[in-house]
Amino acid sequence: MRYEPALDLDALEAIDTHVHVEIDAAGHCSLPDRLLEASSAYFRAGERTSSIDAIAEGYRARRMAAVVFTVDAETQLGHPAISSEEIAAAAARHNDVLIPFGSVDPRTGAAAALRARRLVEEHGVRGFKFHPTVQGFDPSQPEFAPLWAVLAELRVPALFHTGQNGIGAGLPGGAGLKLRYSNPLLLDDVAAEHPDLTIVFAHPSVPWQEEANSIALHKSNVWIDLSGWSPRYFPESLVRLAGRQLQDRVLFATDFPLLTPEKWLHAFGALPIPDEVRPKILKHNAARLLGLA
């Protein structure tokens, strides 16, 4: 079944643009046990393995939609990924509240670009999620340019983890995962060389927030999602730009199940964001990004 959206935007209060699927229908988890346990301790997370059907039910009850995805890091982790095709099929069953993103392993070379094309054309995914640290790659390297060119051609956004990383945190050597791959300056190269590719920086990019701010101000194809942190801890510079110069390219996003919409929205309500900007961040910007409006 190919995904086609059936969202009633007028009935939705928000679109959460960053929701992880961490278990598939067969009970296979997205991360090896060691990394899942360490990240749960780092984030002080509760339930991490809600089924995609349960995710849909939860967001439907909240009158919200959710962008759902996994991360394919099989080359780096030696752990099979959850199927993006399965996620797209499940989203098709819940197309009133779910929007599927795909994930491909960039280190598989030409196969990644071919699979990305199939995921869009045959399964209807609306974008792609990448985690350079967990996937173990430098997105600015020329070998990955063909993948970015395909995504630009398909007119789907690429969502990249940026900044500090909780996966591997607290383990010796961070389980071998390299934080520098998530420096947004590497994505400045990608944004410059692929101006037709829409790039979303996931999370406050600490310790590189000022770099992320500068890139987003400089390049109109760069957006920022506000996931992974309670808004009470957002850097002041990000809050200021979200309410002003970047108000049309900033997105409500939680990082569920690590952070719930309720906790995020409660803290967001206390930020000095103009009232007229809040609906953009919560829903309207995402609707434009995803081609829903």
Would you state the structure tokens that stand for residue 238, as one six-digit string? 């990000």
Q: Output the pLDDT for position 42.
A: 75
Q: Output the pLDDT for position 47.
A: 65
Sequence length of the chain is 293
CA distance 208 to 183: 7
For the chain, domains (ranges, CATH) are 9-289 (3.20.20.140)
Q: Output the pLDDT for position 38.
A: 76
DSSP state of 256: B
Task: Supply the DSSP string of 119-160, one letter for each residue.
Answer: HHHTT----EEE-HHHHT--TTSGGGHHHHHHHHHHT--EEE
Question: If 0-12 CB within 10 Å is exposed, 13-18 middle and 19+ buried, where does residue 51 land?
Answer: middle
For the beta sheet containing 199-202, the strands, ordered from the edge strand earlier in sequence to the opposite edge, are 128-130, 158-161, 199-202, 222-225, 250-251
pLDDT tens digits along 5-58: 999 999 999 999 999 999 999 999 999 888 888 777 777 766 666 899 999 999
pLDDT tens digits along 242-255: 999 999 999 999 99
Give 1's pLDDT tier (boundaries 50, 70, 90): confident
Q: Output the pLDDT for position 164.
A: 92
Q: Output the pLDDT for position 65.
A: 98
What pTM, to 2 d.p., does this model score? 0.96
CA distance 270 to 282: 14
Question: What residues pair up with 69 in beta bridges, in sequence order?
Answer: 20
Helix H, strand E, coil C: the string for 60-101 is HHCCEEEEEECCCCHHHHCCCCCCHHHHHHHHHHCCCCEEEC
For the beta sheet containing 64-69, the strands, ordered from the edge strand earlier in sequence to the opposite edge, are 14-20, 64-69, 98-100
CA distance 115 to 143: 16
pLDDT tens digits along 183-233: 999 999 999 999 999 999 999 999 999 999 999 999 999 999 999 999 999
In 3D space, the residue among 41, 1, 40, 3 whose CA is nearest the CA of residue 22 turns out to be 40
CA separation (Å) from 74 to 88, 108, 131, 148?
19, 9, 12, 20
Taking residues 269-292, what's their average pLDDT? Answer: 98
pLDDT-above-70 percentage for the chain: 98
Q: Output the pLDDT for position 34.
A: 87
Contact residues for 152 (Cβ-Cβ < 8 A; gap 6+): 194, 196, 197
